[in-house]
Each structure stands twice: as C-alpha cells, then as structure tokens.
Amino acid sequence: MADYESAQGQCLCGAVKVTCPEMSLNVGACHCTMCQQWTGGPFMAVECGSNVSFEGKDAITTYSSSDWADRGFCSHCGTHLFYRFKHSDQYMMPAGLFGDSHEFNFTQQIFIDEKPNYFCFANDIKAMTGAEVVAIFAGESESN
C-alpha cells in the first residue's frame, strides 16, 4: 500500500470541498485538551501537506488557537476541516472528511499525557507526550 494518495473530501453540508494531492494514509490521534474540546474526543487526523485546495472558501471560518496553529471549520454546518501549522502551512485534516474509500493505518498518538482515562486504544503504536510534540513541531512554544 502507498503511504500517500490524492484525496477529495467535504464537510457535512457540502459547502466546503477539499482536494489534497498527497494525503498521508497514516492516521494519528491528538489527545491535547484543545483537541478534546474541539472534537469531543481525540482528533483523528491525516497529514495533507501544504498543497491543499478548497472550494467554498467563503464558508471557512478560522480560529487562531495558538501562536503556531489555526483550526478551521465550516461556518454553515460546523464540520471540523483542518488544523494548520502557521509556520509551514501544513494541514492536518480529520480522516473522516475523506470517507472510507482509503485504507488508513492508525500509527501514532500525541499528547498522550493529556488523554483522559475513560478510553484506551488497543493498537500498539507510537505514543508521544505533549512535551515531545512541542519539541519537534513548535520549538520554543508550549501551547497546543
């Protein structure tokens, strides 16, 4: 199986459509407290790089959730669309936007130290704490 595929997805109401020429087939779960508030649980995301295009941009609302990332959602139906790193313009997008036509692999969990105790994934995958993630992606910033 390839590590990347082109993909198209959309929000619940169809106002926003997204095209990703190189979407990773590796799914990661973010357990940070912000993602928990944003999604109601872990954010199950795929890396889509910076070459992402949107139809219906007027329906996208962006929230600057930290010094180093934005979160986007459809202003019509509320579908979560992306988590975008400001410095690299890299998009992390909910795997569910792309339906079930892709053979995703669940490969890692991040902010594992903020995961609530009421659930546990059975997969034997890479797990990183918030401090480890910040050291890799944000450097000097400690915010989610």
Query: Is-contact 27 106, C-beta < 8 A?
Result: yes
Domain boundaries defined on the chain: 4-137
Q: Which residues of the chain have pLDDT under 50?
A: 1, 140-144
Question: Domain 4-137 adopts which CATH fold?
Answer: 2.170.150
125: left (phi over 0), alpha (psi -120 to 50) or beta: beta
Q: What pLDDT, on the 0 to 100 scale, is given for residue 105?
A: 94
Provide the pLDDT for residue 144: 46
Tokens of 39: 């999604």
pTM to 2 decimals? 0.85
Q: What is the pLDDT of residue 4?
A: 87
Identify the pLDDT of residue 96. Answer: 94
